[in-house]
């Protein structure tokens, strides 16, 4: 078991700045979805983490807390996640990475 980043849609969708997607050192790990916020009634979408690619460095937490001032990301033990996104397909050049929501999470 290990720590991964978990983004609160409820908190992120209020700001949706996408800063964390630019600062995560792992490619295609923090992704962005319009639907994730809008299908919950928010004006904006939300960032989310493909947990199978997250290395647990917590850099995104620092960015969200200190640059975005939104405190939407927490580090959480992977087996404590009620739902998680796993990488579905990766095409680096076309930026078409998608992830599938799965539950329960296998750590």
Where do contacts with ligand SF4 occur on this chain (CB under 6 A)? Answer: 5, 7, 12, 15-20, 24, 26, 29-30, 47, 49, 54-60, 63-64, 68, 70, 72-73
Q: Which of 67/96 has CB closer to ligand SF4? A: 67
Specify the DSSP element, H or E, that contains 37: helix 34-38
- Contact (CB, 8 A) for 16 and 37: yes
CA terminus-to-terminus distance, the chain? 6
The residue among 55, 56, 100, 107 whose CA lies nearest residue 81 is 107
C-alpha–C-alpha distance, residues 15 and 50, integer Å: 20
The residue among 72, 31, 63 whose CA lies nearest residue 50 is 31
Find the shortest distance in angstroms from Cβ 69 to ligand SF4: 9
Find the shortest distance in angstroms from Cβ 105 to ligand SF4: 15
Q: Which of 11/102 has CB closer to ligand SF4? A: 11
Find the shortest distance in angstroms from Cβ 103 to ligand SF4: 19
Find the shortest distance in angstroms from Cβ 19 to ligand SF4: 4
Q: Which of 44/102 has CB closer to ligand SF4? A: 44
């Amino acid at each position: 078991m290990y720590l991964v980043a978990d983004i609160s849609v409820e908190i992120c969708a209020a700001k949706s700045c996408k800063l964390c997607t630019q600062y995560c050192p792992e490619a295609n790990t923090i992704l962005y979805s319009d639907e994730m916020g809008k299908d919950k009634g928010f004006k904006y979408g939300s960032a989310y983490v493909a947990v199978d690619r997250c290395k647990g460095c917590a850099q995104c937490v620092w960015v969200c807390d200190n640059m975005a001032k939104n405190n939407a990301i927490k580090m959480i033990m992977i087996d404590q996640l009620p739902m998680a996104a796993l990488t579905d397909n990766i095409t680096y050049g076309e930026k078409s990475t998608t992830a599938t929501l799965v539950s329960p999470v296998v750590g």
